[in-house]
Amino acid sequence: MAVDDTGREVRVPATVERVVSLVPSLTESVAPTGKLVGATDWCTHPAGLDVVRVRGTKNPDLDRIMALAPDVVLANAEENREPDLEALRQAGIAVWVTRIETVEAAFVSLGRMFELACRTPEPEWLERARRAWDLPEPAVRRTAIIPIWRRPWMVVGRDTFTGDVLRRLGVDNLYAAHPERYPRIPLAELVAKDPDVVVLPDEPYAFCADDGPECFAGSALVSGRLLTWYGPSMVEAPDVLRASLGL
């Protein structure tokens, strides 16, 4: 009996050939194994992915998932709703839940997922990602706020993968000590914080050149995939994000 990231025992079959992923970054991670048979409508990577779509992360089509007869369903404690996951368990399906709040946790979690949930060797990109994130301590540190939504404005708060990604690059989230992980903050307060940079990702809200930067004195548009996804994107993320942020 294997134990997932939440400490829950999961009866994963000795041989796994059919996998459904309910998390875009895990979909991108597992697709090259050839075992993926289902993914959410939001799973955009890798390009040209040809699997059955099972709606969204928050409203998966449970009947369609069950009809795919997966050996295991991959989920995430933050992305997916527990009632949906429990319904799949009650149907006799092994559900493997990841919990990833730091870069280091991503490496550990993904390694365990491949070995214990997918029954497949660790991909070579995972070691390349570890090397890419073996970074020296930044000589200069900057402050930031990281909006993820507007109307209402919401920002990255405590204990997030995104916050740890930026911290390792030398950018400190001014809301890292907030009691909520994704607090709603009035725009006037965000501006008053006077951060060195406002980091505007293109997901989940699609901030772009004419939607977001006009609210702040200094901002940087970045790839949400590189900032928030734990998977193959972690290989290129340090270099691309540093260039986007002018580090």
* Distance from C-alpha of 167 to C-alpha of 238, rounded to nearest angstrom: 11
Instruction: Report the mean per-residue pLDDT for the chain.
Output: 97
Q: How much of the chain, in percent, has pLDDT values that exceed 90?
A: 99
pLDDT in tens, 81-108: 999 999 999 999 999 999 999 999 999 9
Mean pLDDT in residue range 168-190: 97
Q: What are 113-171's pLDDT values in tens digits? A: 999 999 999 999 999 999 999 999 999 999 999 999 999 999 999 999 999 999 999 99
Query: Range of 219's domain?
Result: 142-245
Spatial separation of the C-alpha atoms in residues 101 and 159, rounded to whole Å: 6
**pLDDT exceeds 90 at position 17:** yes
Are residues 179 and 115 located together in one domain of the fold?
A: no
CB 157 within 8 A of CB 182: yes
Closest CA to 8 of 79, 84, 72, 95: 95
The tens digit of pLDDT for each residue in 186-218 reads 999 999 999 999 999 999 999 999 999 999 999
Both 109 and 152 in one domain: the answer is: no
Residue 135 lies in a domain: no
pLDDT at 51 over 90: yes
CA dihedral 115, 118, 119, 121 (to 10 degrees): -60
Q: Is the pLDDT of residue 180 over 90?
A: yes
Residue 1 scores a pLDDT above 90? no
In the numeric block, which tokens belong to residue 89? Answer: 């368990």
CB 164 within 8 A of CB 102: yes
Tell me, what CATH number does 232's domain have? 3.40.50.1980
